[in-house]
Amino acid sequence: MSESHQAWGQPQHAMHFDALSGVPGFVLRRAYERFNEVRLLNTVLDTRSNPVRLLEVGCATGEFYRYLSLRHPQVSYVGCDISRPALERARQKYHVEGRFIETDTDLKAVRHVSPDIIFCRDVAHHQPDPLAFIRKLYEMTKSLLVMRVRTRDAGATVGDPALSCQLNYGAWAPYIVVNSQELLRTIQGFSPQPRRIQLVKHYMVLGGQHARFLPKECYYPETGTAEAALLIEKGEGTAACVVQEEAAQENLQLGFIARAVSWLARPGRLGG
C-alpha cells in the first residue's frame, strides 16, 4: 500500500470504525440520518421502486451496509475498501460472497460492478488528488454519486499532502480541503456534463481536531471550512447543469437514550 494509504491497513482502523456494530437498528438509523449526505441519498432512494445497485467506496467495517439494508432493503449493495482488517470485520458480520470486495486505490477491482449509485463518505479528502478521485467515481457511476468531502470557501486548495494531512494510527494520510468554487467548477467540467450538483455544507473549523496538520487558515472560522455533502446527478451532456449550494448545520447530538444505548453497546462492554 502506498505511503498515503498506509494508515488504513492498521488493525486499529477496523476497531475504531466498528463502534456502531453493537447498537440496535433505531440508534444506527438515528446516527446515520444526522448526516446531510445520508439525507441526500435517502431523498433519491425514497422515490425509487425499481431495483437499484449501489456501490459504497470506502465501506470500512460495513456498518453503512447494515443501515441501508434496514432502511432500503430493495437496494442491492456492494462495498469495497483497501483496508484488509476492516473488510475482514465486515465479512465476519455480514458475509455474502462478493458483497465486500478488497480493492486497489485505483478501484480496478470494482470496475465490473456497474452501479446505479456510488456512495463514498470521507474517502476523497484522504486521497493525494481528491478531484481526480471524484472524477473517477463519476465515470464509474451510471446515474448518481453521493459523497462527503471537505471544503473551504476562502483561499485556494492546498493540494500538497505534506502540508495538509492527518495522523491516523501512527501514519500520515492526506487531508485535502478543496476550495468549494474550484470543486463546483471542476465537476461542471466533467464529461458528460452533470445534470445537477448539490453541495450542502455543515460549517465547522476543521483545523485543530483529530491530530490534523492543516494550513493555518483552516483554523479560522472566516475560511468557511466544512464537512460537505455532495450529490452529482450524471447527465447526458445535453441539458445545462443546475448547481445548488446551501448550508445546513447537522445536529450531531444523538439524544440521551441513543447515547446511553451506544455507550452500553461499545465493543468489549457487553461481550459484543
> In 10 A of CB 58, how many CB atoms?
22
What the block records as the C-alpha cell of 193 is 456534463
| Residue selected from 52, 60, 134, 187 as contacting ligand SAM according to rule CB under 6 A | 60
Residue reference for cell 501512527: 170
Nearer to ligand SAM, 168 or 235 (CB): 168
Q: Among the candidate windows 76-84, 199-207, 214-222, 250-258, which touches ligand SAM by CB under 6 A?
A: 76-84
| Residue selected from 22, 58, 174, 224 as contacting ligand SAM according to rule CB under 6 A | 58
Quote the CA–CA distance of 227 and 212 in Å, as a whole number: 14
On whether the CB atoms of residues 198 and 113 are closer than 8 A, the answer is: no
Please name the residues in contact with 265: beta carbons below 8 A apart, sequence gap of 6 or more.
22, 23, 24, 27, 272
Please name the residues in contact with 128: beta carbons below 8 A apart, sequence gap of 6 or more.
4, 161, 174, 176
User: What track of x and - describes contact with ligand SAM for positions 112 through 131 (by CB under 6 A)?
Assistant: ---------xxx--xx----
| Residue selected from 105, 143, 186, 193 as contacting ligand SAM according to rule CB under 6 A | 105
What is the nearest approach in angstroms of ligand SAM to the Cβ of residue 240?
A: 32
82 binds ligand SAM (CB under 6 A): yes
Contacts to ligand SAM from residues 21-50, by CB under 6 A? none
Q: Following CA atoms 151, 187, 166, 259 in sequence, which dihedral angle do they give, to the nearest 10 degrees?
A: 60
What the block records as the C-alpha cell of 123 is 474517502
| Residue selected from 36, 83, 198, 262 as contacting ligand SAM according to rule CB under 6 A | 83
Q: Which amino acid is at 145?
A: L
What is the nearest approach in angstroms of ligand SAM to the Cβ of residue 8?
A: 3
Footprint of ligand SAM (CB under 6 A): 5, 8, 17, 57-58, 60, 80-83, 86, 103, 105, 107, 121-123, 126-127
